[in-house]
Amino acid sequence: MAALQVVRSEWTKIRSVASTVWTLSLAVVVTIALGMLISALSKNEFDNMSRNDRLSFDPTFISFAGMSLGQLAMIVFGVLVVSNEYSTGMIRTSLAAVPRRGTFLAGKIAVATALALVVGMATSFVAFFLGQAMLGEHKASIGDSGVLRAVIGGGVYMTLIAVFSMGVAAMLRSPMLSLGILMPFFFLISNILGNVDATKKIGRYLPDQAGSKIMQVVTPIDDDTPYGPWGGLGIMALWVVAALLGGYVLLKKRDA
């Protein structure tokens, strides 16, 4: 019963904060709109592609091109859900009402994860169908081999990005510090490490690089990644578990 009350309380907190609603809305719009744009451009450029590019052409993955920016909004959502109470000082009141810190954190993470999963799944399916509509004759069908897995995986990927951010925010407590680390990490550092020959083997084990494999249906001909879609998602899940454990341990040890 106590756990149910915590869940209800956290749901009330999330839906009453306008910034969290706006960030989720932004994640949806950016992911879908950019995916449609890149899909339309890819259709127009298909005839000019090299043979290797055509062999590696993945219409499903192209429709998720907007994830690169949409995930940043999911990061903001994850950080705000956890760290807003620290920035406002409400964390003291919350912990006084729920002294068991593990229950408090679990309730907050559970509600936010469920919301992120619903939004992520809806976004992934809409992005896929609208992206395929833009691709015309080059489109994939939801019934094709590996496509449904990739579309569902897209929703799971967006959810795990948000949950990972929640764990980091629980460790750092400050929204500015959390965003100051996560934004450059996912938007710049991860891309650099994943595209530079000297660091590519390290970059492929970062959460976004590994997790995004679940959205791929066609493997690029020059791809030597030592894991597949499910292996990549598993690596991302380990990052998420590590972040949540770190947040829990520090929440238990520190003062509010």
Please state which of the ranges 43-57, 174-188, 214-228 shows the lowest mean pLDDT: 43-57
Find all residues with CB under 8 Å of 194, minimum gap 6, and list them.
200, 203, 204, 206, 209
Other CB atoms closer than 10 Å to residue 54's CB: what's the count? Answer: 11
**What does the buried/exposed string (b/e) look like for 82-115 if buried means 16 or more CB atoms within 10 Å of the residue's CB?**
bbbbbeeeebeebbeebeebeebbbbbbebbbeb
* Backbone conformation region of residue 132, classed left if phi is above 0, alpha if psi is from -120 to 50, else beta: alpha
How does residue 3 score in pLDDT terms, banded at 50, 70 and 90?
low
Q: Tell me what percent of the residues of the chain surpass a pLDDT of 70.
A: 93
| Alpha-carbon span 76 to 46, nearest angstrom | 35
pTM equals: 0.91
Given a cut of 90, whether residue 88 has pLDDT beyond it is no
Q: For residue 39, what pLDDT is reported? A: 95
Q: What value does the mean pLDDT of the chain take?
A: 89
Banded model confidence at residue 107, pLDDT cuts 50, 70, 90: confident
Given this model, what pLDDT does residue 92 score?
Answer: 67
Question: Closest Cα to residue 166, out of 123, 121, 104, 122?
Answer: 104
- Rounded CA-CA distance 200/180 in Å is 24
Reading the block at residue 72, the tokens are 């940043």
pLDDT reading at 1 higher than 60: no
Residue 247 is classified by DSSP as: H
Give the number of residues written for the chain.
256
pLDDT at 69 over 80: yes
Instruction: Give the confidence band of 47 by pLDDT, cuts at 50, 70, 90.
Output: confident
Amino acid identity at 219: T
Phi, psi of 141, rounded to the nearest 5 degrees: -110, 150
Closest by CA position to 145, among listed 59, 209, 233, 86: 59
Q: Read off the pLDDT band of 208 (50, 70, 90).
A: very high
pLDDT at 162 over 90: yes
Q: How confident is the model at residue 60 (pLDDT cuts 50, 70, 90)?
A: very high
Task: Domain ranges for the chain, please list them.
Answer: 2-26+68-116+141-253
Gap between the Cα atoms of 252 and 106, Å rounded: 12
Of 18 and 43, the structure prediction assigns the larger pLDDT to: 43
Give backbone dihedrals phi and psi of 249, rounded to 5 degrees, phi first: -60, -45
